Structure 1
């Protein structure tokens, strides 16, 4: 570069203080702002448009360094590149890389806390909301809470659960579900790839069986092999036909007691044999569809016959003598009269254990059949007509198992 281009000297650059633009040559300017700040600008023309490209503050770049930077930018312009567009592209790439780095660095504990914070208001029971995060804090965070969620694998999960899998079987089962919810949430947010259904199934297989510990610890759950005989015994007992009907219906649909006791005829799709429970009556505050097995459908048909096939949408399916919902105690008394320590809610566990250990159904399908909250994508999948039919097969298999064991 000829000397004519280097119009400024290092000493002049230090001494000049009046606001303005001072040309060094070749489009390189020293720009002094009204506040006295000094920076380097390269002014150039490209496609008949004059533009200014910032080369940085004089605090960071000397005159000699600014000239070197100006040479590189002029070379870019000579090659037909737009230095401003190139800089913006680099900045956008750096921002994207930083965001990606932040996403991949999200720890399991951060993801769990984030999910809990955004969803705790939807839990009807504040105590349950606290237990959700507290169990993870106690049993999981010490093991891999500080690990990036993208690095959490099924072996880490197994190692965390092993110490409590048998000694605290019920808690361990819930912790596993909460780990899965957290990882599904993290995958949905782009923090990790997540684990597929096969890996979750393999994890369950790798853990020792704890069904006996669950049954021993909680007498409220009837062993699935005894459910059929119990249904038969109730059916042959002295309870009213309505009580016998709702007792069997709850077991065959694996629903919560209150969902059946408050069921209305308007909930039933007679054309497709589906019972849709409105969100107002659901624990998770979202509607839930139950494909009805042949045995469950026969219960409804028998009740319709006793009413002369005249039913009203808002009429209860299983009313007491006064036309009001049956109380949960009515069903509990049926069990107590037989000297059994089970609860109606425990039959959901009977169904869940049978589905996993005997029928080997997919985890998500069983969870959705119980109206447990699983990933939103799974919810949508199992609400599609084809998945409804697959769940109908599940309920038919359960009904057949109960009938055979009777």
Structure 2
């Protein structure tokens, strides 16, 4: 007779004098122990030998699911595989399954630290937001829903960190798939903007006075490298393009004449006008500049970790995200996303309160209207000094420079 749910329910847990076996169909049956434990089994022959495979226990495994599993096991026979052996291999694979953290660590050592200048920041983000939730789970068993539960919450609070984790989690899973650690990259079709609603609002962000205070506080208190702290502060003080600092030589800073000269090849406008950008060096700026110069023996003002090559774009890209994450984690201070370029925009907005539009444009390295190729930066140093002095005084009132 074919088994039914009603029969199984009636006999489950019902004591009897001896083991009883009842056939279903397609070589499946149930074995009922004297205490009434019901176990689904599949009977088959492999290599001329009779075999019996436990499929699962009722009611944890329903009759419907037991029949489906039995069919799957019979399909292995059609492929010349022994279902009992394949199940043991599968169980052993699960026992030895690599956790997400184990796979991340392997990826980190073999790829991330060799290819990514922001490797330490990536690890820190996973440690703070991912490992406590799913780090000890077998990576193959982590579902898309589990990933999204983490990413969607972060996207609401710190979108830049959510995007960082998504980008690198996809790479971890891609790396694992190539090595047959996972069969599917469940994040392969998930995108920051389309699926997490992350918008960077480029071109609109200006930090408020309160945000400036908190950002400066986070920079001072963070465990970031000193060169990165100096870099962020000078970006805000000068309102310069971050590439102008990253590519700068120590010789670009004339500490005797108190001017920073950005050569033609390092400034965007200079490539069109053939002119250098000349900015004043005020005492607060000089203190940071001298400190940065003492950190390496290179000709470059700021360097990568090798202390030889100039600071790369990738290594500076994650700094803003790290500041936002620190403020959220330590002060429960949630900021809308901002980038390094927004520090420049913030400075420029404030310059408007301290000087004319033309001088403010000159300070950030723009061409003065109607005077392309005719102005002389040195002629405007007094006006720049006056405006920068007022700006640094404001920063000093908001923070402690």
TM category (shorter chain) comes to 0.3 to 0.5
TM-score (norm 2): 0.42
Q: Which structure: larger Rg?
A: 1
- TM norm structure 1: 0.41
